[in-house]
Amino acid sequence: MKILENYLDLKQKEDLFYVKGSGSRVKIPLLDKNLALLLGILWGDGWLASRKVALKNYSWRVGIVEDDKPLIYKFIELTNEVFGITPKIHNRITKLEAYFSNRIVYETLNRVYHFPDGDKINRLKIPAQVLESDELTKQFLSGLFSTDGKFIIMRKNYPRIGLDSASLEFIKEAEMALIRLNFNPRFSVWNRKKGNKLYGLCLNGFKQVTFFHKEIGFIGEKANKLEHFLANNAPLRRFSPVESHARGI
């Protein structure tokens, strides 16, 4: 709250806040699981209008673009729950955009949690407040993997969960967060033909994927895909030489 008061002339009516000249009343939430999940979604596929454009047009837009409808609706639900705002939906043919404009939320994301306005490449960091708690970290990673992550089934039903980013510092922070949560991520670097290098993390194999599902989990369509895979596939058990001989293998 004090950080926001340094930049905004906040007005309050009961438990809602607003700035002079705005008819929009919003909540200013404490950091909890819902907000951490919402932050993860935004850090993955979200954006803030550049401050220069926002000041010029006085349009403090916040939004995400996704082709995952259940995830879009979860974003809308969380935004309403956390800030008391219901985003609008714009159909982009192949994707959906959910967005809203609010100065208080914009400044909360930018000033308090350091979500960059405009271009995000090499400017992303996991909020320090999130990393103070394992439970908040799990929620943030759930939102992040649900947007920027992927679930892949390799040959012979070998499962893999991955996360890619053009921001090295950010992907290394995600790696350290996973290690702290007892995961075993594999780090990789891809030299793309065009553009910046791409940095990736992978959780390989049935044990890691099952652990991810239990401790972090996806939301949206990736959640359905992972749950279907786990329900219909069992890990291949490697027998010891003694067991193999006893079984006639």
The pLDDT tens digits for 107-163 are 999 999 999 999 998 899 999 999 999 999 999 999 999 999 999 999 889 999 999
In whole angstroms, give the CA distance from residue 75 to residue 80: 9
Residue 187 contacts residue 199 (beta carbons within 8 Å): yes
Q: What pLDDT, on a 0 to 100 scale, did the predictor assign at position 238?
A: 45
77-92 exposure pattern, b = at least 16 Cβ within 10 A, e = fewer:
ebbeebbbbebeeeee
**pTM (2 d.p.):** 0.91
Same fold, 1-120 and 124-235: yes
Per-domain residue ranges of the chain: 1-120, 124-235
Q: What is the pLDDT averaged over residues 174-184?
A: 98
Quote the CATH superfamily of domain 124-235. Homing endonucleases (3.10.28.10)
Residues in the chain, overall count: 249
Residue 67 contacts residue 96 (beta carbons within 8 Å): yes
CATH of region 1-120: 3.10.28.10
Q: Is it the case that residue 89 has pLDDT exceeding 60?
A: yes
Q: Which residues pair with 62 in a beta bridge?
A: 48, 100
Q: Is it the case that residue 2 has pLDDT exceeding 90?
A: no
Contacts of 133 (CB under 8 A, 6+ apart): none
């991810």: which residue's tokens? 212
